[in-house]
Amino acid sequence: MKKINLFIVLLVGAVLLVACADSEEGATNSNEGSSGEDAWNRIQEAGEIVVGTSGTLIAASYYEGDEETEDQLTGYEVETMREIAKRLDLDISFEIIGVDNVLPAIKSGRIDISSGTITDKRKEEFDFSDPYKYSYITMAVRKEDNSGIESLEDLEGKKNGGGATTIYSQIAEQFGAEVVTYGNAPNEAYLRDVDNGRTDVVINDYYLTKFGVAAFPDFDIHLHPDLNFNLTTSGVIVPKGEDTLREKINEALQEMREDGTLSELAIKFYEEDASVEPEKEIIEIDDLDI
């Protein structure tokens, strides 16, 4: 009798385990087959959208203030996000986060959205809004000799200051440079090290590099006079498959483009209209694996 009872107990247990496994599989399949409205519905219900931003990038996301006024987070990226939230009738909160932590934070749900360069690799794991910023890639180098860099091939053996996961560091590594990482450091830390020789170059977005270099005139650095390459586009990063959220953001961006708000913000912070493609000739490097 005891053996029979034990058999029944084991049989029931096995059935329950199978049922639980089926339930978990069903839940997983349900998530994979979601309607793409989950994030938007949750954000609407909360009445607030949480945006990840660095707070350390002059003209894009930085703190502005003086002795008489409280520091205020601002910049083209920040004010574009504020305007999107306003047009979607949402409150907005910003979480200061290092560039290397942005994508994991979106995946984990720590933040709802952020801003970033649109690349084919990133589009495998995330979705992007339509572009709201157009730029290209350049370098900050020492004035006296361009840090010995006259072509991308000259990056071999050089030291590049940058975030570990940025497309700019990927480019540096692809051409043989060593990447020196800083975490969520301000522009000054990166550029000072080029000046003092700890590193040789900072490969980055044209607008960020332009204003970073201009902010520290005592450093013996400048924008490389010849190396301007690969048009880049930046958009709002959203979780993969959240189509409704992406579409709502695109609607707001389209309104901002049509009524001139995007251009006004870009010119205010960058002194150029970064919301449209640049007119200057830019070298396109086809074999960049980014």
229-275: pLDDT as tens digits: 899 999 999 999 999 999 999 999 999 999 999 999 999 999 999 99
- Cα dist. 100→22, 166, 207, 240, 244 in Å? 37, 7, 20, 18, 26
The fold for domain 38-134+233-270 equals D-Maltodextrin-Binding Protein; domain 2 (3.40.190)
Residue 132 near residue 251, CB atoms below 8 Å: no
Q: Beta-carbon neighbour count of residue 227 at 10 Å?
A: 20
Residues 111, 188: Cα–Cα separation, whole Å: 27
Q: What is the DSSP string of 126-167?
A: EEE-S-SEEEEEEEEEETTTGGG-SSGGGGTT-EEE--TTSH
pTM: predicted TM-score of the whole model, two decimal places: 0.79
- Cα dist. 81→46, 51, 85, 127 in Å? 17, 8, 6, 16
Query: Domain spans of the chain?
Result: 38-134+233-270, 135-230
Structure token digits, residue 101:
């932590």
Domains 38-134+233-270 and 135-230 share a fold: yes
Structure token digits, residue 84:
């999107």
Residue type, 42: R
Structure token digits, residue 61:
């996301």
At 62-84, the pLDDT tens digits run 999 754 555 899 999 999 999 99
At 93-132, the pLDDT tens digits run 999 998 889 999 999 999 999 999 999 999 999 999 999 9
Query: DSSP strand E in the chain: where?
Result: 48-53, 56-57, 61-64, 72-74, 91-96, 114-117, 126-128, 133-142, 159-161, 178-180, 202-205, 221-223, 229-239
Mean pLDDT of the 15-19 span: 37
Q: Which residue has the higher pLDDT, 17 or 187?
A: 187
* CATH class entry, domain 135-230: alpha beta
Structure token digits, residue 52:
């990840």
- Cα dist. 221→158, 212, 239 in Å? 16, 10, 38
